[in-house]
Chain A
Amino acid sequence: MNDQLTLMTIVLGIIHSGIRLATPYLYAAIGETFSQRSGVLNLGVEGVMLMGSFFGFYAVYQTGNPWLGLLAALVVGLLMGLIMGVVSITLKAEQGISGIGMYMFGLGLSSLLFKTMVGSVEGVEGFSELRFCVTDTLCLADVPILGDIFFNHSIVTYGAFALVPLAWWILNKTTWGLKVRAAGQNPEAVDSLGVNVDAVRYVSVMVGSALAGVAGASLSISLLGIFQENMTNGMGFTAVALVYFGSWRPYGVLVGALLFSGVNALQLWVQVLKLNIPSDVAVMLPYLLTIVALALPFRRSMQPAALTKPFERGEN
């Protein structure tokens, strides 16, 4: 059975699907990395993703232009980040609780807007695979093996992977990155140097949230071309976990995202191999992996010292 299906097809299928599925996790988790490195735990990623997903979809639905969809998602994410900032930075609310609030807000509002503004299953023409064609018939995407892995994704996916070194560079090589890290590690010291801790945190949370919006849009206008209520189905929470998994470092997050999406893809492809893994285990596997990674004790030391602590001048 399936003799035509070589092992190569299966491995390629897993890699191709894994890269595609890593896209939303990467945007959301890299964004959350900025937020957490500045000292703010934003648990509302899931809600922001849903809002970005809906507005990205709706913009394309109305205008037909996927770039406008991406822009809409970015702006909505930015605004959600602003709200999160006001609540958790200015008003100094408990970050976990306000994050859950953001989640429920995004979940409810995106569902409500979808009901009132669209109301049925509609498809949109979003970003398609680039394929890198030199001529009409000659495409890099058709190159055996390498084509599927490197040259058969949408621009949104390439963006997600480009974001990783960019985020690393910003965090580690720029002055602003230094401020972000310091705000999350030792805000008092940052403050004593005359840098506005709250301002740094605001920007970080908003940038992170904007990326979460893009993560949502990557589902509705790149991966799928449709919007459905609660379509993220927990991806935003997984993204937060991936930040812990990756020890608050962009490349660590990349490894986590690829591992997680790879295991997700594996679950479908492993069925071709006729390995009779019990269904429950297969579905659980990605989450189990996350839990194991979160429980590893050595990661604790890498956590930003001021994470979840609102900054108050002269507190100590």
Chain B
Amino acid sequence: MNRERLWKLLLLTLVFSLLLVACGGDTEETEPAVDEPAAVEETAVEEAAPEVEAPAADTSGGQYQIPATEEGKYNVAFVFVGPHDDGGWTQAHDVGRMYVEANVADVHTAYVETVAEGADAEQVIRSLARKGFDVIFTTSFGYMDASEIVAEEFPDVDIIHISGFKSNEANFGNLMGAMEDIKYLAGMLAGSRAMVDGNPKLGYIATFPIPEELRLGNAFALGAQKTCPDCTIDVRWIFTWHDPIVEKEAAASLFDSGAQVVMTGADTPAPAEAAPEGKWGITYDYSDNCKIDTCLTSMYWNWGPVYADIVEASRDGSWVGGWQYFDADSGAIGLLGFMDGETLQPGAADLPEADLNMIRETLAAMLAGEFTRFDVFTGPITDNQGNLVLAEGESLEQLDLDGFAQFGSPCETCMYWWNENITAELPEVE
């Protein structure tokens, strides 16, 4: 009898842990608001076979294998939150790693993947530093505090944290880019497509109710306004960064509600997979996750050049850890089909030349550094409650771009608003 109880208890515990995972979500690139997920235990047990480059690996990082450095080379390590081949956020970083390996002389790179945020991450980063890596890139929001702690312990190691907000003006810096530039262009493209198809409705799959997701959604909406003044945008919150099943259902729900083009803030190919014949999806994070014909474009990261610059600067001693936020002129973000040497996806190729030119010209201005995120967020902008967010000629400040007053940001205008063509209500934030 007792045994049965025991099994039931075990089962309950499992369901509870699933629940915890559900609540915590995956804070891959979230901003301050989202709590650290307490339960990533499922990914933590999967470290049976982490692939590492170096033959001589040890296990000083707990269940993670810590790669070895190479004598006489400048050693660069990457800490990934997901598998290196996830087809999204992490794979984009891995492509950046390979770029460094190929383009920087006498450099050795390695990575540790699927590292749980929190204590595990700290252990892994510390082990890498102890092992003698010269530069460590930590590529998930939840690695921020761990990176800071280890940077303090190892002043000779340069640690670059992606998507956070802390730095120490010495060997600990943070790095992120203005994807809002690219989402603005994607909005123009989606608007144009919707106009041509005669169905002025768009959809946005948003991940977590944080400033970044409202900023990117608003940028998309502002872009859509340029090519499709009548377009409206519907929103679904999915509370995950990477779950193909949830993302697919959210896309299906948007398409079923009438959306013509669906853009996502998560990063599986699901939005394009879910697009019924004659409708379109726009994918995110990784240029190569937009292969099928129903995929209109991908808004992607190209970390390589930025990483290479940082590694070079670190080696010659000129790098100082600070707050680095790049715009499109860095070459580190792109819109698939519009960058050098790329061809348009079929759904983009047959759009009116005038619209395509507008996108190309805006992109050219962005690449030349003449059009930045502050130009994307320049008035007149009205929110969907009819309030004027920005008057003609006014622009948002950086604090507004990534702040909610509810989260304690000293921003004035902040990002807690939806552009007038978004039909959703604002998400609850605590």
Query: Please, how many angstroms separate the alpha-carbon atoms of A307 and B18 in the complex?
Result: 24
- Cβ contact of B7, chosen from A12, A96, A115, cutoff 8 A: A96
CB distance from B109 to the nearest CB of A (A): 18
- Cβ contact of A13, chosen from B16, B51, B253, cutoff 8 A: B253
- Judged by a CB distance under 8 angstroms, whether B21 is at the interface is yes
Chain B 78-92 near chain A by CB (<8 Å), digits 1 or 0:
000011011110010
- Judged by a CB distance under 8 angstroms, whether A120 is at the interface is yes
Query: Please, how many angstroms separate the alpha-carbon atoms of A308 and B5 in the complex?
Result: 11
Chain A 292-304 near chain B by CB (<8 Å), digits 1 or 0:
0011000010010
- Judged by a CB distance under 8 angstroms, whether B344 is at the interface is no
| Residues on the A chain within 8 Å of B373, using CB | none
Query: Please, how many angstroms separate the alpha-carbon atoms of A264 and B12 in the complex?
Result: 19
- Report yes or no: B22 in contact with A287, Cβ–Cβ below 8 A: yes
- Report yes or no: B268 in contact with A287, Cβ–Cβ below 8 A: no
| Residues on the A chain within 8 Å of B4, using CB | 300, 303, 307-308
CB distance from B146 to the nearest CB of A (A): 22
- Report yes or no: A121 in contact with B42, Cβ–Cβ below 8 A: no
- Judged by a CB distance under 8 angstroms, whether A271 is at the interface is yes
Within 8 A of A (CB), among B384-430: 423-425, 427-428
Asked whether A2 and B288 contact (CB < 8 A) given A121-B87, A230-B46, the answer is: no
Number of A-B pairs, beta carbon distance below 8 Å:
172
- Report yes or no: B19 in contact with A284, Cβ–Cβ below 8 A: yes
- Report yes or no: A123 in contact with B11, Cβ–Cβ below 8 A: no
CB distance from A141 to the nearest CB of B (A): 11
- Judged by a CB distance under 8 angstroms, whether A136 is at the interface is no
Chain B 58-96 near chain A by CB (<8 Å), digits 1 or 0:
000000000000000000000000110111100100000
- Cβ contact of A279, chosen from B237, B242, B245, B248, cutoff 8 A: B237
Give B430's nearest chain A residue, CB to CB: A278
Query: Please, how many angstroms separate the alpha-carbon atoms of A298 and B289 in the complex?
Result: 49
- Judged by a CB distance under 8 angstroms, whether B235 is at the interface is yes
- Judged by a CB distance under 8 angstroms, whether B131 is at the interface is no
Chain A interface residue count, Cβ-Cβ cutoff 8 angstroms: 67
Within 8 A of B (CB), among A225-278: 225-226, 228-231, 233-234, 237-238, 240-241, 244, 264-265, 268-269, 271-272, 274, 276, 278
- Report yes or no: B237 in contact with A271, Cβ–Cβ below 8 A: yes
Chain A 1-16 near chain B by CB (<8 Å), digits 1 or 0:
1101100010011001
- Judged by a CB distance under 8 angstroms, whether A92 is at the interface is no
- Report yes or no: A291 in contact with B86, Cβ–Cβ below 8 A: no
- Judged by a CB distance under 8 angstroms, whether A290 is at the interface is yes
| Residues on the A chain within 8 Å of B269, using CB | 121, 123, 226
| Residues on the A chain within 8 Å of B3, using CB | 308-309
Chain A 160-177 near chain B by CB (<8 Å), digits 1 or 0:
000000000000000000
Query: Please, how many angstroms separate the alpha-carbon atoms of A271 and B209 in the complex?
Result: 13
- Report yes or no: A291 in contact with B15, Cβ–Cβ below 8 A: yes
- Report yes or no: B256 in contact with A9, Cβ–Cβ below 8 A: yes
- Report yes or no: B244 in contact with A294, Cβ–Cβ below 8 A: no
- Judged by a CB distance under 8 angstroms, whether A182 is at the interface is no
- Judged by a CB distance under 8 angstroms, whether B98 is at the interface is no
Query: Please, how many angstroms separate the alpha-carbon atoms of A36 and B102 in the complex?
Result: 54
Give A291's nearest chain B residue, CB to CB: B15
Asked whether A223 and B245 contact (CB < 8 A) given A120-B87, A234-B42, A284-B22, the answer is: yes
Query: Please, how many angstroms separate the alpha-carbon atoms of A123 and B87 in the complex?
Result: 11
- Judged by a CB distance under 8 angstroms, whether A111 is at the interface is yes
Give A274's nearest chain B residue, CB to CB: B425
- Cβ contact of A237, chosen from B15, B43, B242, cutoff 8 A: B15
Chain B 23-64 near chain A by CB (<8 Å), digits 1 or 0:
101000000000000000011011011010000000000000
CB distance from B219 to the nearest CB of A (A): 21
- Judged by a CB distance under 8 angstroms, whether B14 is at the interface is yes
- Report yes or no: A283 in contact with B253, Cβ–Cβ below 8 A: no
CB distance from A51 to the nearest CB of B (A): 14
Asked whether A226 and B15 contact (CB < 8 A) given A121-B87, A234-B42, A272-B257, the answer is: no
Chain B 92-129 near chain A by CB (<8 Å), digits 1 or 0:
00000000000000000000000000000000000000
| Residues on the B chain within 8 Å of A20, using CB | 249, 252
- Judged by a CB distance under 8 angstroms, whether B228 is at the interface is no
- Cβ contact of A96, chosen from B10, B45, B253, B425, cutoff 8 A: B10
| Residues on the B chain within 8 Å of A241, using CB | 11, 14-15
- Judged by a CB distance under 8 angstroms, whether B239 is at the interface is yes
- Judged by a CB distance under 8 angstroms, whether A315 is at the interface is no
Chain A 102-122 near chain B by CB (<8 Å), digits 1 or 0:
001001100110110001111
- Report yes or no: B83 in contact with A271, Cβ–Cβ below 8 A: no
- Judged by a CB distance under 8 angstroms, whether B166 is at the interface is no
Query: Please, how many angstroms separate the alpha-carbon atoms of A228 and B91 in the complex?
Result: 13
Query: Please, how many angstroms separate the alpha-carbon atoms of A157 and B86 in the complex?
Result: 27
| Residues on the B chain within 8 Å of A287, using CB | 15-16, 18-19, 22
* Beyond A123-B291, A234-B21, A268-B236, 4 additional pairs, beta carbon < 8 A: A272-B234, A274-B425, A283-B239, A284-B22
Spell out B's residues near A (CB within 8 Å). Answer: 3-4, 6-8, 10-12, 14-16, 18-19, 21-23, 25, 42-43, 45-46, 48-49, 51, 82-83, 85-88, 91, 208-209, 234-239, 242-245, 248-250, 252-253, 256-258, 268-270, 273, 286, 288-289, 291-292, 423-425, 427-428
27 contacts across the A-B interface (CB closer than 8 A):
A9-B256, A9-B257, A13-B253, A17-B253, A43-B10, A111-B46, A111-B49, A120-B85, A121-B85, A121-B91, A121-B291, A226-B244, A228-B242, A231-B245, A233-B243, A234-B42, A237-B15, A274-B425, A282-B239, A283-B22, A284-B19, A287-B19, A290-B15, A291-B12, A295-B12, A300-B4, A308-B3
